[in-house]
């Protein structure tokens, strides 16, 4: 799953990053979002702007730790947790690739219905993956306590 998420993220970014930063590439789609190319040298909400290499190293280390956790817990981990970790790892590595290859993260999804930072497919993987992992973990722990 992580490899597929990385491939999807990188393919879309490769296709869109031929345009200049700031380019608006589409009208709003169904009133939800538009494609608006942005280059981010920081983290979420552009925090730590300019720390691209350090954030890339941090992402790789965190993804390695999550992969090690998944291997260590393989006998107990639930499918939602495993899918969540796959999305988080895929998203983290996708953005790390940007940081190391082009020196910034390629963002392009700009929500039309609210003021929110521009983001990308990797960010969706990290956010939704973390939510799915946490939900799976809580459900597994509650089930485990009910069995006791």
Q: 95-140, pLDDT tens digit by residue? A: 999 999 999 999 999 999 999 999 999 999 999 999 999 999 999 9
Find all residues with CB under 8 Å of 55, minimum gap 6, and list them. Answer: 42, 43, 48, 99
110 flagged as catalytic: no
In a domain, 87, yes or no: yes
DSSP for residue 104: S
What local confidence, expressed as pLDDT, does residue 47 receive?
A: 72
> Based on the structure, what is the number of domains in the chain?
1
In this prediction, residue 42 has a pLDDT band, given cuts at 50, 70 and 90, of: confident
pTM above 0.75, yes or no: yes
Classify residue 77: in a domain, yes or no. Answer: yes
Residue 60 lies in a domain: yes
pLDDT at 120: 98
Q: Quick check: is 20 in a domain?
A: yes
Catalytic residue (one of 9, 107, 110, 115): 107
Is a pLDDT exceeding 80 seen at residue 144? no
The answer to whether residue 114 is domain-embedded is yes
- pLDDT for res 32: 95
18 in a structural domain: yes
Q: Is 98 noted as a catalytic residue in this protein?
A: no
- The active-site residue out of 9, 98, 110, 123 is 123
Give domain status of residue 148, yes or no. Answer: no
**Residue-range definition of the domain harbouring residue 119:** 2-143
User: Can you spell out the DSSP letters for 50-104?
Assistant: T-HHHHHHHHHHHHHHHHHHHHHTTTT--HHHHHHHHHHHHHHHHHHHHHHHTSS
């Amino acid at each position: 799953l992580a490899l597929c998420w990385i491939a999807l993220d990188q393919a879309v970014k490769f296709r869109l990053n031929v345009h200049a930063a700031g380019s608006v590439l589409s009208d709003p789609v169904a009133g939800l979002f538009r494609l608006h190319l942005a280059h981010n040298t920081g983290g979420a909400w552009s925090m730590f702007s300019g720390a691209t290499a350090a954030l890339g190293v941090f992402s790789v280390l965190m993804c390695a730790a999550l992969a090690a956790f998944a291997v260590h817990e393989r006998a107990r981990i639930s499918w939602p947790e495993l899918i969540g970790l796959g999305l988080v790892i895929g998203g983290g590595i996708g953005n790390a690739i940007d940081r190391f290859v082009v020196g910034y993260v390629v963002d392009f999804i700009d929500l039309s219905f609210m003021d929110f930072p521009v983001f990308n497919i990797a960010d969706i993987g990290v956010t939704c993956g973390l939510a799915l992992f946490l939900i799976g973990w809580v459900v597994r722990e509650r089930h485990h306590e009910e069995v006791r």
